[in-house]
Each structure stands twice: as structure tokens, then as C-alpha cells.
Amino acid sequence: MSPESRAQAIAAATILICAGLVIYFLPTLVLWIGSYSPALAVIAGAALLLGFFAIFWLRAHYQRGRGK
């Protein structure tokens, strides 16, 4: 395994583990925020879910910029 592919695998694993933790705790977090403001809970939930896709989009954008 080349160092570059190993770094990519580590980055992908890190992103997936962090996203898994966020998704696992998302219902608890949204319910906790929802006790203060339901609208804020919706915004927080949407932001966390969209953040998962934004990370992959940013990473792809960065990789394209480097010519890979």
C-alpha cells in the first residue's frame, strides 16, 4: 500500500467514524435542543446532516484542485 493510498484510507475512515458518531447522537442532540426551540432543533439537525455531505464535497473539491 502506497503512502498516498494509506493517507486517503485513514482520512476516509476518520470522516466515516466522526459522521457515524454524529448520526448516532443526532436524535438525542436534536431532542435536547428541541426542548428550547423546535425551529433551532430542525436547523441543527439539518446542519449536521448536510455537514456530512459538505465534508465529502470539500474533500473532492480539494482533490480536484490538486489534480488527482
Q: What are the C-alpha distances in Å from 48 to residues 23, 26, 59, 60?
A: 8, 8, 17, 19
Mean pLDDT value across residues 53-57: 86
Range(s) of the domain holding residue 19:
3-65
pLDDT given at position 22: 87
> What pLDDT score does 39 carry?
95
Q: What is the mean pLDDT of residues 33-52?
A: 92
Please give the model's pTM, rounded to 2 decimal places. Answer: 0.67
Asked if 59 contacts 11 with a C-beta cutoff of 8 angstroms, the reply is yes
- Cα(48)–Cα(67) distance, integer angstroms: 29
pLDDT at position 68? 59
Total domains in the fold of the chain: 1
Task: Report the pLDDT averaged over residues 19-37.
Answer: 92
10-24: per-residue pLDDT in tens?
988 998 898 889 889
